[in-house]
Amino acid sequence: GHGRHLFVIVSGCVRLSSATRQGREFVYALLGPGSFYGLGNVIKGIDPRANAEASGATEIAVIDGPGFLALLDREPRLWRHVAVLLHKRLTHAMWAIRDNSVAPLAERLVRRLLALAAAAAPAHGAPVSLRLTQTDLGRMLGTSRSRINGILKRLERERLVEVSYRTIKLSDLAGLHRLAGPEVFTF
């Protein structure tokens, strides 16, 4: 099964999601180059519970899970790096739970856009174009596409973003960071 492999995004984008019993989809993340998924499944030896779908042209490196675990056993100091990566994910999850409980939707949206931009690893301060839909953003933040659209229109009027078909360009990263506050986490 897929639980026996670790996947690393070389280029492009992978969308991680799952569905509730009622069929409602939740998008966990859009992962860009250098990001990975499947580590927890490899460590636990189980098949993934999330769906992974390439968004456009995407190249993925597939790493053999048992071979990866054997490497970690031979080189125990590498477990520290695994722990750091998993801690980063846990911290991100805790902040997301906090944001979903208390932060206004506009602030959560701006933080998510900045986190996605950071995952794309652009040159510092350069505008970033994200290939995603407003529906994807709504599913990431547990709200409707129309509410996302209203906030994006306001951000466009403030010249912070430019919205086009399946693309959101973050034109003013510094301005978006001022709106988001200091806590922006990436996968």
Q: Are 144 and 134 in contact (CB under 8 A)?
A: no
Q: What is the number of alpha carbons within 13 Å of residue 170 lying toward its C-beta?
A: 27
| Ramachandran bin of 10, using left for φ above 0, alpha for ψ from -120 to 50, beta for the remaining angles | alpha
Highest mean pLDDT: which range of 41-45, 104-108, 183-187: 104-108
Domains of the chain: 2-76 (2.60.120.10), 104-180 (1.10.10.10)
Q: Which parts of 2-161 fold into alpha helices (H)?
A: 39-44, 65-74, 78-102, 105-119, 134-141, 145-157
- pLDDT bucket at 14, cuts 50 / 70 / 90: confident
Q: Kindly state the DSSP code that residue 125 receives in the 8-state scheme.
A: T
Each residue of 118-154: pLDDT tens digit? 776 555 656 788 888 899 899 888 899 999 999 999 9
pTM of full prediction above 0.75: no
- Structural tokens at position 53: 């779908």
